[in-house]
Amino acid sequence: MTRGVHYACLTPLERTPEAQAFLTYVGRLFETYAVELLTEAHSNQRDVQVIGEQPYDRGSSRTADIAVADGVDLVLIEIEARRFSKDALLSSDPQDVLAELQTMVISKAKQLDQCINALRRPTSPAELPGVDIGAVECIWPVIVIEGAIGQTAMLAEYLDKRVGDALRQPGVQALSVLSMADLERVTGFIEHGHRLAFTLRRWKEGSWRNNDFAFFCSKWESLRKLRRATSVSRRWDRLTGEVNSAFSHETRARLLAKRTPEDADA
C-alpha cells in the first residue's frame, strides 16, 4: 500500500470514526504480511521460530506482534502502520512531527518494554510457545513503520531521552527502527543465510548505528547487493499480473514494446 493509496483512502475519512477503523485494518494487514514474510524467509532455518502475538493476563494483553527466537537471541517486533499525517508533513511546526514520533515510535517502544517485563516476571509470566525466556541472553527490540524516518544521531538521542527508563532491562539491546521496505530487504538476506539477530547486532553495534538501515547495508559488502525474498517477488509478480489484466491486449503489447528514441524524447 503506497503512500498515495494510503492517503487517498484516508482523506475522505479524516476526523470520523471510520478513520480509526481504516488505520486498524491497515495495521492488521501489515502485521499479517510481516509474519508471513519472516516465516517464509526462515523456512530453511529450522532452529528459528517465528511467533505471532500471544495473549496473556487472561487475554487482556498481548505480546509483541512478532517474536523471532534464535537460540540465545530473541527479536521482538512491533508493527506501526500509521504514517506521518499530512499536517506533520506539510506544516513548519516541529511539534506536529514530535507528536507523530510519540505515536509511531515512542509508544511502541514502551509496548515492547511492557512485553519484556511480562515475559520475565516471576509470577504468571507471558509465554511464547517453545521459548525458554530464562535461556535468552539478548533481546532485540524492533519497530517497523510504514514509510521511513531519516535516522541521525540527533534523532537517536531524542528517542533515547523520550523512551526514558523503558528498554533498560539486562540483555536488552539498542532499539532498531525499520521501514517496511527495510523489513522486506532483511527477509531477502535471511533467505540467503543471514541471521536476523546477527544482522541487527552488526548494525546497532557498529559505526553506522545511528543511520538508516539501508545506508548501513550500503557499507557492508555482504549486504550491499539487494536480494529480494522469494515471497516478495511472488507477491510483486501477482500484483503486476493483476494490474496488467486491467489493460487490453493491444495496450499491454504497446507498453511492453521497446521504446524508440522518439518516444523517449516525447
Given this model, what pLDDT does residue 252 score?
A: 64
Q: Which residues pair with 49 in a beta bridge?
A: 69
Does residue 209 surpass a pLDDT of 80? Answer: yes
77 neighbors 109 (Cβ within 8 angstroms): no
What band does 255 get if pLDDT is binned at 50, 70 and 90? low
* 114/193 same-domain check: yes
Question: Is the per-residue pLDDT at 266 higher than 50?
Answer: no
The predicted-structure confidence for 58-85, as pLDDT tens digits, reads as follows 999 999 999 999 999 999 999 987 777 6
- Asked whether residue 116 carries a pLDDT value surpassing 80, the answer given is yes
pLDDT band at 3 (very low <50, low <70, confident <90, very high): low
Q: Which domain holds residue 99?
A: 3-228
Cell 501477482 sits on residue: 238
Please give the pLDDT value at position 238: 74
- For residues 254 and 159, membership in a common domain is answered with no
Tell me the C-alpha distance between 147 and 142, whole Å: 15
CATH code of the domain covering residue 23: 3.40.91
Q: Are residues 172 and 239 in the same domain?
A: no
Of residues 250 and 162, more confidence is placed in: 162
What's this model's pTM, rounded to 2 decimal places? 0.83
130 and 94 housed in the same domain? yes
Residue 264 and residue 214 share a domain? no
Written as nine digits, the cell of 37 is 514474510
Asked if the model's pLDDT at residue 262 lies above 60, the reply is no
Q: Is the backbone of residue 138 left (phi > 0), alpha (psi -120 to 50) or beta?
A: beta
Same domain, 239 and 218: no
264: pLDDT strictly greater than 90: no
pLDDT given at position 234: 77
157 and 256, same structural domain? no
Q: What is the pLDDT of residue 263?
A: 47
Residue 39 has pLDDT above 50, yes or no: yes
pLDDT tens readout for residues 187-204: 999 998 899 999 999 999
pLDDT at site 120 = 97
Q: How far apart are CA 174 and CA 194, in angstroms?
A: 20
The DSSP bridge pattern shows strands 66-70 and 176-179 to be: unpaired
| pLDDT on residue 13 | 81
Percent of the chain's residues with pLDDT above 70: 87
Q: Name the domain count of the chain.
A: 2
In this prediction, residue 17 carries a pLDDT of: 83
The verdict on 128 and 259 lying in the same domain is: no
Same domain, 161 and 234: no
Domain co-membership, 110 together with 217: yes
Residue 256 and residue 208 share a domain: no
Q: 167: which residues sit within 8 A by CB, 6+ positions away?
A: 109, 112, 113, 116, 141, 175
Q: On the CB side of 137, how many CA atoms lie within 13 Å of its CA?
A: 4
- Helices within 56-141 (DSSP H only): 86-90, 94-101, 107-120
3-state class of 137 per DSSP?
coil
Lowest mean pLDDT among 21-30, 31-40, 251-260: 251-260
Whether residue 126 is predicted with pLDDT greater than 90 in this model: the reply is: yes
pLDDT score of 86: 66
12 and 71 inside one domain: yes
pLDDT tens for 220-236 read 888 877 677 777 777 77
